Amino acid sequence: MAKEPIRILTKNWDIKNSNTIEAYIKNGGYKALEKAIKQMNPEQVMDEVKKSNLRGRGGAGFPAGVKWGFVPKDSDKLKYLCVNADEGEPGTFKDRYIMTLDPHMLLEGIAITSYAVGISAAYIYIRNEYIESIAILKTAIQEAKAKNYLGASILGSNFNLEIYVHRGAGAYIAGEETGLIESLEGKRAMPRIRPPFPAAVGVFNCPTVVNNVETIACVPSIIEHGGEWFAGIGVSKDGGTKLYAVSGHVNNPGVYELPVGTSLQKILYEHAGGIKGGELKAVIPGGISASVLAARECDIAMDCQSVAKAGSMLGSAGIIVMNNRVCMVEALFNIAEFYAEESCGQCTPCRSGSHWIKNILERILHGKGKTDDLEIMLSFIPGIMGRTICAFGDALCGPVQSFITKFRDEFEYHIIEGKCNIRNKLDIL
């Protein structure tokens, strides 16, 4: 039984001038906000989101409604929302689409979320390079304010909300939620030790909700159609659709909206047009922090639990596809270089471990590997994984462990022969 493709986040993308408020309203925009404010109290909104099984789209997959519930209700401090639009995870480029093609969906989501949690100021912490999105968002905020969807006494209620666009400081770690908060406060983006969690003590020492752009953008349709409807789209405990951003060796790279739990095969072959330039060798399913899957492991459903069961993670669902011409040593070096560069430098294991790993891989790439190099790198993992302030340490370990264990022969060839087996073969062909 062929189902109609469900379009929640992308429904307006094909419309002309989709980023204007006129186009958005014409397609039913801001109805959900009106419904929330006029027909629901904040608890009911939060309950709907809990029912929807919406999980965070930024990487950790934490249930959004549950997170909102952690914000203390009796606190007399201001509460803040930080929308994580830093989109720094390599292989991830979905939030930018939302912000450029349908900024009002994000703004409506922010307004509803703020209404539910009792927030009156929201920041969109946006990757500094997203110049176009920044301009579009700023215009959209003005438009929405002019129509009283934002600002004071929204739609005649006593709900007030200001949204600020804050340009990021240009570091991957500024996307980590507490790094983001520090950066927003004008400091170096250095993650904070938890507890306290941002929901209790966040930006300016006030309770703060941090959510990814896509997470927030899901909220209007949840309110419009109900949490159960949203939950029914995905899989158990993981509702809705997901933007899968496919890049690398596929014929049609791009962002695809599909129900959570769609099979990876289907995404690659039916939507992304199949493998380009060779045979499928490996896939990184959720941004480079996710462990790599060998081609034989790619028969999985793309939801949080299934990908975790396969030994990786859904992460940001930035799917990076590699064909059999890719040298895995080079690929891992590329990743390791990124981590060595981006570690904020506060935790000993992350700071020195990332750099050491990069150095070893560089040596192997240059034909100067030693036979115990692989064991040395693998032996670092227990000393880094779960031993750092933020998840960066874990993010660094996943690729190292999976690349080396799954493609060990390639690494060994490099070490023993001092050259690349893949290149070697390609040259012969």
Partner 1 sequence: MEKVKVKINGKTVQVESGKNLIQAARLVGVEIPHFCYHEGLTVAGNCRMCLVEVEGEPKLMPACATYVREGLTVLTDTMKVKEARRAVLEFLLVNHPLDCPVCDQSGECKLQDYYMEHGKYESRFREKKIKRQKAKRIGPHIVLDQERCVLCTICIRFCREIVGKRQLGLFSRGDYACIDIFDIQPYDNIYSGNVADICPVGALTDGDFRFLCRAWFLQSTESICPGCSRGCNIYLHHQENKRYLGNGRRLFRVKPRYNPDVNKWWICDLGRYGCTFIDQKRIHEPQKRQNGSFIPVSWNEAYFEIAQLLASLTKRDSSSIGVILSPHLTNEDLFVSKEFFTNLGITDIHFSAVSPDLYHDDFLIKEDKFPNRKGAELIITNSGVASTDELLEKAKNGAYSCLFIIGQDIVKAYGEEHILQCLKKVETVIGQFSNENQTTPLVNYLLPAATFAEKCGSFINFEGRIQKIKQAFSPLHQSKIDWQILVELAKEMGKIMPYNNEQDILKKLSKEYKHFESLDYQKIGMHGLKLNGNE
Q: In 127-178, which ranges are E strands?
A: 162-167
Residue span binding ligand SF4 (CB under 6 A) among the ranges 60-68, 267-275, 298-306, 388-396: 388-396
Using CA atoms in the order 63, 65, 70, 71, what is the torsion angle rounded to 10 degrees?
130
- In terms of CB distance, is 19 or 289 closer to ligand SF4? 289
DSSP state of 275: B
197 alpha carbon, distance to own chain's centre: 19
Examine residue 417 and tell whether it contacts partner 1 (CB under 8 A). no
- In sequence order, which residues have a C-beta less than 8 Å from that of residue 119 and are 6 or more positions away? 79, 80, 81, 113, 161, 209
Examine residue 254 and tell whether it contacts partner 1 (CB under 8 A). no
Number of residues this chain uses to bind partner 1 (CB under 8 A)? 35
Contacts (CB under 8 A) with partner 1, residues 123-182: 171, 173
Examine residue 235 and tell whether it contacts ligand SF4 (CB under 6 A). no
Number of residues this chain uses to bind ligand FMN (CB under 6 A)? 24
Contacts (CB under 6 A) with ligand FMN, residues 73-92: 84, 86-89
Specify whether the CB–CB gap between 203 and 185 falls below 8 A.
yes
367 alpha carbon, distance to own chain's centre: 36
Q: How far is the CB of 201 from ligand SF4 (least distance, A)?
A: 17
From the list ligand FMN, partner 1, ligand SF4, none, pick the one residue 355 interacts with, judged by a Cβ distance below 5 to 8 Å according to partner type: partner 1
Residue span binding partner 1 (CB under 8 A) among the ranges 34-42, 226-234, 316-324, 345-353: 345-353
Q: How far is the CB of 158 from partner 1 (least distance, A)?
A: 38
Pair of tokens at residue 410: 């390639």
Specify whether the CB–CB gap between 229 and 220 falls below 8 A.
no
Q: How far is the CB of 195 from partner 1 (least distance, A)?
A: 9
DSSP state of 266: I
- In sequence order, which residues have a C-beta less than 8 Å from that of residue 153 and are 6 or more positions away? 159, 160
- In sequence order, which residues have a C-beta less than 8 Å from that of residue 71 and are 6 or more positions away? 79, 117, 118, 199, 200, 207, 209
From the list ligand FMN, partner 1, ligand SF4, none, pick the one residue 88 interacts with, judged by a Cβ distance below 5 to 8 Å according to partner type: ligand FMN
User: Which residues would be at the binding site for partner 1 (CB under 8 A)?
Assistant: 171, 173, 188, 190, 193, 340-349, 351-356, 359-360, 363, 370, 372, 376, 380, 382-384, 386-389
User: Which residues would be at the binding site for ligand SF4 (CB under 6 A)?
Assistant: 173, 191, 343-347, 350-351, 388-390, 392-393
